[in-house]
Amino acid sequence: MKKIAIFCGASIGFNPVYAKAAHDLGVFLARQGIEIIFGGGKFGMMGAIADAALKEGGKVRGVIPDFLKLEEIEHTGVHEMITSQNMSDRKMTISKIVDAYMALPGGFGTLDELMEVLTLGQLQIEYKPIGILNTNGFFNPLITQFDLMVKEGFLKPENRAMVLESDNIEKLFEMMQNYQPPKVSKIVQTVASK
């Protein structure tokens, strides 16, 4: 892994543990020589991770939709800022650049990005590791939902295993480095469909 996409919030959240996790991840990835590809914003979790990595001498590249640049939220201190036409184009651009994905706490946009890359992995369009940094148990309800999808026959256990999760940066990074993509069809057969 040389380039990791970071999906995270444009807000910082109410609990300072989230900003600290973003900062710590930015420092860690910079020290590993991993380039960060992110949504291009200067505020919130996005700004925290970018600023920390840059301060540590890391390489950071943003991908921001043109209409968001008009809102003056663009991080101007990164090594490169790629302008996309819209949100969908941003996700496609990021996908072409990176070797892996990691999600930190965020809102609808973060979940949208995470679900899209999980779907790409499930459909075997991509074979990249997908990690969730589960700071403060933020993603616990989502992880429970994934488990329910398996229990109720909507998701194969092998596809559920694509979701790598930890509240520890080093452990999550190691899991992502050792990731082996599933070699199964996404189609879930139930008793009724046999």
pLDDT band at 186 (very low <50, low <70, confident <90, very high): low
pLDDT attached to residue 182:
86
pLDDT attached to residue 183:
81
Q: Which domain holds residue 92?
A: 3-193
We report the CATH number of the domain holding residue 118 as 3.40.50.450
Angle at 176 between CA 11 and CA 82, to 5 degrees: 50
Give residue-wise pLDDT tens across range 46-79: 999 999 999 999 999 999 998 887 665 889 899 9
Global pTM value: 0.92
Domain count, the chain: 1
Q: Distance (Å, rounded) from C-alpha 46 to C-alpha 62? A: 10
- 191 pLDDT exceeds 60? no
- 194 pLDDT exceeds 50? no
Lowest-confidence pick of 88-92, 129-133, 139-143: 88-92
